[in-house]
Homo-oligomer: A and B are copies of this chain.
Amino acid sequence: MFMTTGYALLTPGRKLEPWTFERRDLRPDDVRIRITYCGVCHTDLHAIEGATEVPLVPGHEFVGEVLAVGPEVTAFKVGDPVAVGNIVDSCGKCVACLDGEETYCLEFPTLTYGGVDRHDGTPRYGAYSHEMVVRDHFVYPLPESLDPAGVAPLMCAGITVWQPLHRLGVTSGTRVGVVGLGGLGHLAVKFAKALGASVAVFTTSPAKRDDALALGADEVVVSTSPDEMNAHALAFDVIIDTASGEHDISPYVLTLDFDGTICMIGIPPRYEVDSMALLRGRRRLTASGSGGVRDTREMLAFAATHGITADVEVLPAPQVQVALDRLARNDVRWRFVLDFGSD
């Protein structure tokens, strides 16, 4: 074992503090990574505010540099730039894992933080820290052409919106609606546009109109305006709903064309939809969370080809509390990234 430093919730609340803790020695298939940038995801905020077990070290979308590799690792060498997302291990044997869908591992994947390592049972501490050890299968080469700080959020927010766009066959001419313009939504706009779709952003904030258009959206629909919503009946093939709070999705469903699909990214306890909104159009409701290794590789290759990164505000890691407090107020455009090379 070796020691590293990071930021942890040590007592319940919302205040993270500097903390020094142990990382495991390398197993044969492990990669030791010096973390340079880590994104600040809404999930981190929820995990902190809902924490029942401490210490909690958040952080599950990061990039860095390989410091060492285990003896069986062939895909990486010391000095390689790499990226890691929100899962770091899985059973590897179930139908989901064998299909490259590790996110849906039937034994549940090992998350980057929260829970325990599936082999030695030690707690998983996240990437608000200077070093981490990750099984090689869940480490990805960092595309050299992309800004590393902007790649970090691709590893959670990016793959989470890429996966349904890709799976639902979004391509040239597809009409895509994106509900919510934030860390997830702004990447959904970029990916959908790069896939060739026409893209509308649904927002409750008319003030975000210019932002959405600047990101490449073709139009903006103010979802609190019945007139604007009615004018978009049957207007979309696919809607990616990135809004995190509970909200009535039926008005969005009615903007789907026949056989259209709305994909939920947020996770309230239940999804509910007006039955006639779904039935009279044979529309489909689905949900998606992150993506497996195969899709993550494809997402990174696509991002590199199209020059897609997140729009980020980089803060020195010691300012983690500023990032969390501003994120809690939705005061971010569009993702905070903590710089672990500067402290």
Contact between B269 and A278, CB atoms less than 8 A apart = no
Determine chain A's interface SS by DSSP, over half rule.
Answer: mixed
Q: Take A96-B258, A104-B258, A258-B104 as given contacts and tell me if A280 and B273 are in contact as well, using a CB distance cutoff of 8 Å.
A: no
Q: A276 an interface residue at 8 Å Cβ cutoff? A: yes
Q: Which of A58-66, A140-148, A260-268, A301-309 contacts B (4 or more CB under 8 A)?
A: A260-268
B residues near A284, Cβ cutoff 8 Å: 261, 284-286
Contact between A101 and B285, CB atoms less than 8 A apart = no
Contact between A275 and B264, CB atoms less than 8 A apart = yes
Contact between B258 and A267, CB atoms less than 8 A apart = no
B residues near A289, Cβ cutoff 8 Å: 279-280
Q: A270 an interface residue at 8 Å Cβ cutoff? A: yes
Q: A107 an interface residue at 8 Å Cβ cutoff? A: no
Q: Take A272-B272, A286-B285 as given contacts and tell me if A279 and B267 are in contact as well, using a CB distance cutoff of 8 Å.
A: yes
B residues near A164, Cβ cutoff 8 Å: 282
How many A residues are at the interface, by size bracket? Answer: 35 or more
Q: A234 an interface residue at 8 Å Cβ cutoff? A: yes
**Most chain B CB within a 10 A radius of its CB, from A261, A271, A287:** A287
**C-alpha gap A254/B173 in the complex (Å):** 34
**C-alpha gap A271/B253 in the complex (Å):** 13
**C-alpha gap A234/B105 in the complex (Å):** 12
**C-alpha gap A264/B277 in the complex (Å):** 13
B residues near A96, Cβ cutoff 8 Å: 258
Q: A281 an interface residue at 8 Å Cβ cutoff? A: yes
CB-based nearest B residue for A290 = B279
Contact between B278 and A286, CB atoms less than 8 A apart = yes
Q: Take A270-B275, A272-B271, A275-B269 as given contacts and tell me if A167 and B261 are in contact as well, using a CB distance cutoff of 8 Å.
A: no
A240 to chain B, nearest CB (A): 13
Contact between A274 and B279, CB atoms less than 8 A apart = no
Contact between A234 and B287, CB atoms less than 8 A apart = no
CB-based nearest B residue for A282 = B288
**C-alpha gap A223/B282 in the complex (Å):** 26
Q: A283 an interface residue at 8 Å Cβ cutoff? A: yes
B residues near A331, Cβ cutoff 8 Å: none
B residues near A264, Cβ cutoff 8 Å: 275, 278-279
> 5 closest A-B pairs (Cβ-Cβ)?
A279-B287, A284-B286, A285-B285, A278-B287, A272-B272
Give A residues with C-beta under 8 Å from B.
95-96, 99, 101, 104, 106, 164, 167, 234, 258-259, 261, 264, 267-276, 278-289
Please, could you name 30 A-B residue pairs with CB atoms under 8 Å apart, sorted by A?
A95-B234, A101-B258, A104-B258, A104-B280, A104-B281, A106-B234, A164-B282, A167-B259, A167-B282, A261-B284, A264-B278, A267-B275, A268-B275, A269-B274, A269-B275, A270-B274, A270-B275, A271-B273, A271-B275, A271-B278, A278-B287, A279-B288, A280-B289, A282-B286, A282-B287, A283-B286, A283-B287, A284-B284, A284-B286, A285-B285
